[in-house]
Structure 1
Amino acid sequence: MARFDDPRLGEIESHLHREDPRFARALGAGRPCQPREYRRTRAWLLLAVALAVLGAGFAMAHGLLIAAGLVLAGMAAELLDPQRCVRTHRNSPPRC
């Protein structure tokens, strides 16, 4: 972490380190990775597993597998939602 004369820049840097330390380290090294909001590999993997479980539940006519597949698909859809961060901070005080 570099020291800045402007306290606002130091505040922005510390906020970035708290929010996404992996991105902040990569940015400091000159090779930035995608910010956390754009890393959705786990969500796509969860969706693939959900569809596999749902398909197996339909093939075997097993209600519990169908229900589990639907729940997992709902979780994956929530993770893939681009407005998820906006909705989770709805009740927080406005930023200046």
Structure 2
Amino acid sequence: MAHFDDEHLRDLEARMRRDDPRFAKALGSGRPCRPREYRHGRAWLVLAIALACLGVGMALPQGILIAVGLVLAGAAGHLFDPQRARPRGNDPPATR
């Protein structure tokens, strides 16, 4: 491999370790795990709590529980976004 290729690979490795250390460590040990973009455990939990609040708020006419359920559902939707960790406005250049 050329010197430039080695340098480019080291840069990619360092960026991966900085972005998702758990994934980089698992990949280095030969037992890769899912990257951070595909781990949604907390999002499912928040969504379940939101649906429970909405259901209870509709069963017992409680506007505050309905409002809490809607807010939590919005937060869960935000947690499902795979690009949420990337700062906005720093889009990579388009490739052809």
Measured against the shorter chain, the TM-score band is 0.7 to 0.9
Could you tell me how far 1:90 is from its partner in structure 2?
Answer: 4.2
1:91 to 89, 92, 95: 89
Higher relative CO (CA 8 A, sep ≥ 6), structure 1 or 2?
2
Paired position in structure 1 for 2:38: 38
Q: How many residues align?
A: 89
SS of 1:6 mapped into structure 2: helix
Q: Say what the alpha-carbon RMSD is for the aligned residues.
A: 2.1
Encode CA deviations 1:51-94: one digit per residue, 9 max, x unaligned: 0011111111111111000000011112223xx518x5441153
Structure 1 position 51 matched with structure 2 position 24: no
CA distance in 2 between partners of 1:38 and 1:93 (Å): 20
Structure-2 change in CA distance of 1:44 and 1:93 (3 Å): closer
CA distance in 2 between partners of 1:68 and 1:90 (Å): 27
Unaligned runs of 5+ in 1: none
Flag as ranges the 4+ runs of structure 1 deviating above 2 A. 93-96
Question: Aligned ranges for residues 10-89 of structure 1 at < 5 Å?
Answer: 10-81=10-81, 84-85=82-83, 89=87
**Aligned-residue identity in percent:** 56
CA distance in 2 between partners of 1:93 and 1:38 (Å): 20
TM (norm. structure 1) is 0.82
CA distance in 1 between partners of 2:52 and 2:31 (Å): 36
Unaligned runs of 5+ in 2: none
